[in-house]
Structure 1
Amino acid sequence: MTEDRQEESISCNAKRRQILDGAEAVFLESGYEGASMSQIACRARVSKGTLYNHFENKAALFGAVIEDLSRSRLAPAICQSDLTAITCVEAFSQLAERFIRVLLQPGPLRLYRIIVSEAPHFPDLADTFWRHGFGRTLSTMTQWIEFWIERGAIQTDDPVFAAEQFMALCQTRLVQRKRFELPVDISDRQIQFVAGKIAKAFVGIYGCRPDESATG
């Protein structure tokens, strides 16, 4: 690749990043229906022509925002690379804590409300969220389950379903209350307490043998 093309590629990536940041802000503030491509172009400080050069329509842009949030926030939070040197219960406790903290952030909270409120009018939104958000997270969680199955710590013939159950558990008590703006204690101590309970419940269901799954 020539130097000119490298610079062009860097410029294109930077412009895309600029657009995604602007779009995220507008979507979270105005919802999907209330957001317009003109608003997004203005917030991203690009022309509408540039915006449409990168994304053909609002739906495509929304999907890209969901995918970006999943890659930049959820994926790093549930990366297992630095958690494999501990017991199964400890690993899932740390994983639950990280996942809960991400779900409690303002962005994911607002995004959830957007999907729930506007999915009946825009069915494709739910599908987009499922594929680029929930689906990607579910895939990573499933890999976690399979890792511990291979180590003999968890027993299940349906790791995808087990991963869905774990993700559902992580949304109890704190996350659901916060989504509905109900009074709830989301201090570090409470998050850690709930995460620990979730891990013990999950590995209890799937037969984790305590302390037998430390690194070998």
Structure 2
Amino acid sequence: MQNKPMSNVHAEDNAKPCGLTPKGLERQRRILDAAREVFLEQGYDNASINEIMCRAGGSLSTLYRLFGNKLGLFEAMMTQTSNRVFAAFEAVECSIKRKETPEQALKRYGNLLLERVLSPEAVGLYRLITTDCSSEREQIQSIFFAQGPKRINDKLSAYLHSQVEQGVLTIRDPELAAYQFLEMVKGNFQLRAMLGMTITEAERTQAVEQAVDIFLYGVTVR
């Protein structure tokens, strides 16, 4: 089925409850939940709008009215997923404000990062993004990056910048440093998770602790 043209409502606004009744919000939630299931099972290109609505219940006209088209639905699903994930990161941010040391804050952030990016849902989304061959590949990858990696990095970058302003840390580029820290923590875990390989709790703990040590204190050259 050909996608209908995107409506004038921006996709990021589609995930907002503004103007929807409780019944409308429940309908929207069912559609987004069904969309997540189908996208993860079948990939973006193969995902069927008809299958999504069959699982969610309702008419295609409702989907088009709420989300515009398949790409709009994908973006709204990513926004919903990202907002749910970020509830946990907001809690970490609050704990950071309780006078944690940089070492404590980074360990907490690193552990939460691994917990989230190695979850079955996150691994499924990452697999979807990296294997998709649809004509809209660049668009869905851009949506994924903005709603996932960039948002995670922006949170950490803001924290590092605040530490620089307070004279606690000296960092030339907090945004770049945030990406570097997060990549050290993730290492090859994301790839291993995609391949179905086992990652132990001991490996996760060691990865976070060593990343924090290297990030804050460097390595010793003998």
Partner of 2:206: 193
Q: How far apart are the structure 1 equivalents of 2:96 and 2:165?
A: 16
Structure 2 unaligned blocks of 5 or more:
1-17
| Contact 1:74-1:102 within 8 A present in 2 as well | no
Q: List structure 1 segments (4+ residues) > 6 angstroms apart after TM superposition.
A: none
1:149 partner amino acid? V
| Contact 2:35-2:73 within 8 A present in 1 as well | yes
Partner residue of 1:36 out of 48, 52, 65 = 48
Q: Secondary structure at the match of 2:163?
A: helix
| Contact 2:44-2:134 within 8 A present in 1 as well | no
Structure 1 unaligned blocks of 5 or more:
1-5, 206-216
Normalised by the size of structure 2, how large is the TM-score?
0.81
Task: Quote the offset at 1:151 in angstroms.
Answer: 2.9
Task: Quote the offset at 1:73 in angstroms.
Answer: 1.1
Partner residue of 2:35 out of 9, 23, 48 = 23
Task: Quote the offset at 1:61 in angstroms.
Answer: 0.9
Identity of aligned residues (%): 25
2:130 partner amino acid? V
Task: Quote the offset at 1:147 in angstroms.
Answer: 2.4
Partner residue of 1:69 out of 81, 101, 123 = 81
Partner of 1:202: 215
Q: How far apart are the structure 1 equivalents of 2:59 and 2:35?
A: 13
Count of equivalent residues? 198
Normalised by the size of structure 1, how large is the TM-score?
0.83
2:118 partner amino acid? L
The RMSD of aligned alpha carbons is: 2.1
Task: Quote the offset at 1:11 in angstroms.
Answer: 2.3
| Contact 1:66-1:129 within 8 A present in 2 as well | yes
Partner of 1:154: 169
Q: How far apart are the structure 2 equivalents of 1:154 and 1:143?
A: 13
Counterparts of 1:89-108 in structure 2, within 5 Å, are 89-108=103-122
Q: Secondary structure at the match of 1:81?
A: helix
Larger RCO (CA under 8 A, 6+ residues apart): 1
